[in-house]
Structures are given as C-alpha cells and as structure tokens.
Structure 1
Amino acid sequence: MRFERLLSSEAPPATLLIRVMVGAVFLSEGIQKFLYPGELGVGRFTKIGLPAPEVLAPFVGVVELVGGTLLLLGLLTRLAAVPLIIDMLVAIASTKVPILLSRGFWSMAHESRTDFSMLLGALFLLLVGAGPWSVDARLSAGAERRK
C-alpha cells in the first residue's frame, strides 16, 4: 500500500513540463561532471573545498544522472526527488551562501537562479508526484487493477 501511495499522483498533465525541465537539467549536469571533471566535477569540488572531491564529485554525478533519468521517465518520481533536493541544498550552501556573504544579495540571486529553480522543481515533484503521463501512473493504474 505504501508503494502505491509513492506512485500515485493527482497532479495535472502539465506536470510533465516540470518533470522534463528538472529531469533534463539534472541529467545534463550529471553527464557534464564526467565530461568536464576539471571544470564541473572533481576540480570544481576541490576548488569549493568539499571533502573527498575524488569520491564526492562522481557520486553526485551519478545521483544527478540517475535522478534526472528517473524524473524524465516519471519513474519513482517522489523517491528520485529526495536526493536531488539534498543535492541542491548542498550546492546552495556550498556555492551560493559564500557569494551572498562576500558579494551581496543581488550577486547571489543572479548566480543562484538555476539552483533555486531546480530545488523548487524537485520539491514540487516530491509533493505532487509524476502526474498522469508517467511510468508511475502506469504502475499505479496496474496496481489498482490487481486489487
């Protein structure tokens, strides 16, 4: 029963637009951490001062790849949103808060627009689910028929 609640969604079909936007950005960012490790992966994590960047950067890349793909498919959407929310909270805390403290609000607001959009998009999907045009909806409908 809990698994069915995880998949269920009363969200409108337009939820697909949020899923595609959030999923595509996370998928793209995950891929880029491996394509450009010096600029966006291990090198960036080292520059920011995150611990164990040689482990953490690939881990985050995989989380973004897998999470983004799951969102695009609408598969386990609520579950996939949780690590992506954590990902964005860490990104904001480690990269945007320092900008706020050193260069002020407007500089931080400019630099963080994508981060906050991704955070809010993932939170939205956690709350409402994948919507009717998703693998979750198909699985949920199948579970209902089996009752």
Structure 2
Amino acid sequence: MTARDNRFGDWGLTVLRVVTGIVFFMHGYTKVFVWGFEGTAAGFGQMGIPLANVAGPFVGLLELLGGLALIVGLATRWISIPLAVTMLVAIVQVHLAKGFFAPEGYEFPLTLLAATVGLTLTGGGALAVDNLIAARRSAPAAKRAGSTRPVHA
C-alpha cells in the first residue's frame, strides 16, 4: 500500500471521529450530569479559567452535545472548531505548566486538539450524517442537470 492509496481513508476518519466523539461526550456527561453546572464552574474557577460560571457550563454542554454530533457525524467540521479551541485553552491555561505526560500534563488534550483540527480539515469520513445531508442537497442539482437536453441545430 502506498501513501497515495487511500481506499480506507474515509474509514480511518470515521474511527477517529467516533472515538473522539465518545471521549468528548463522556467528559461532557461528567461535567453536566455528575458534577453539575455548579461543580463544573467551581472546578474551572480552581483551575483559573476566566468567567468560570459561564465557561464551565458552556464547555460541559459543548463537550456533551459536540461529542454526540461527532459520534453521528453531524456538522463535523463546524463542531470540531470550538472543541479544538477548548483543548487549546485547556492546554495553555491548565496543562502546559504541568509538563507533557498524563494525567495532568498536556499529552491528552494535545491529542484531542490534533484530532479535532484533523476533523476540521478533512471532515468526518464514512458513515456520517454530513454525507447524507450532502447527498440530499446535491440530488436536486444532479436531477436538474440530468434533465436538460442539448439543443440540436
């Protein structure tokens, strides 16, 4: 297999999208349903995140709903952008000073940052709702293009 042989590229993106979505969903679930908005805001405050009372609940909902969107492949490129930003902020605000390695270093958020940037650039791969939406949008255009008959002189 050569670097130009990309037969399985869409499936690789699907695995990346779904697993990244599960990770974000589970972190969001914890923030929203286990710690709650108040607990999440308090934790964000202890970590020095500005506007923790707003940022904590926002990030919890973003991770929960954004993770779900990634799992099904809905608005993959668009939802990956704010998720990438949250990872960048987490790295700079919390993890960078603690070194590279997990559990407190920036290793894990860096990996999620790379995954979300990659999904932003490439899309969600195979088996994504985005593909169904794109197919429905292009079907009427293809139908119109196929119904035009050439004019013969």
- Tell which structure's C-alpha radius of gyration is larger: 2
The whole-number CA distance in structure 2 between the counterparts of 1:13 and 1:141 is 18
- Give the deviation of 1:84 after TM superposition: 0.2
Contact 2:75 2:130 survives alignment (8 Å): yes
Contact 1:67 1:84 survives alignment (8 Å): yes
Greater relative contact order (CA < 8 Å, ≥ 6 in sequence): 1
The answer to whether 1:138 aligns with 2:132 is: yes
Contact 1:37 1:43 survives alignment (8 Å): no
Map of 2:44 onto structure 1: 45
Map of 1:126 onto structure 2: 120
Alignment-mate amino acid for residue 71 of structure 2: L
Which runs of no fewer than 5 residues in structure 2 stay unpaired?
Answer: 1-8, 142-153
The whole-number CA distance in structure 2 between the counterparts of 1:119 and 1:92 is 9
User: TM-score under structure 1 normalisation?
Assistant: 0.81
- Give the deviation of 1:37 after TM superposition: 4.5
| Structure 1 stretches of at least 4 aligned residues deviating more than 6 Å after TM superposition | none
Contact 2:98 2:106 survives alignment (8 Å): no
Q: Deviations over 1:69-95 (max 9, x none)?
A: 111110110000000010000000011
| Matched pairs, number | 131
**Structure whose residues are more often helix by fraction:** 1
The whole-number CA distance in structure 2 between the counterparts of 1:29 and 1:82 is 17
Which runs of no fewer than 5 residues in structure 1 stay unpaired?
Answer: 1-10, 101-107
Quote the sequence identity (%).
30
Map of 1:104 onto structure 2: none
Map of 1:31 onto structure 2: 29
The whole-number CA distance in structure 2 between the counterparts of 1:53 and 1:77 is 27
Contact 2:41 2:53 survives alignment (8 Å): yes
The whole-number CA distance in structure 1 between the counterparts of 2:72 and 2:44 is 29
The 3-state SS of whatever aligns with 2:10 is coil
User: TM-score under structure 2 normalisation?
Assistant: 0.78
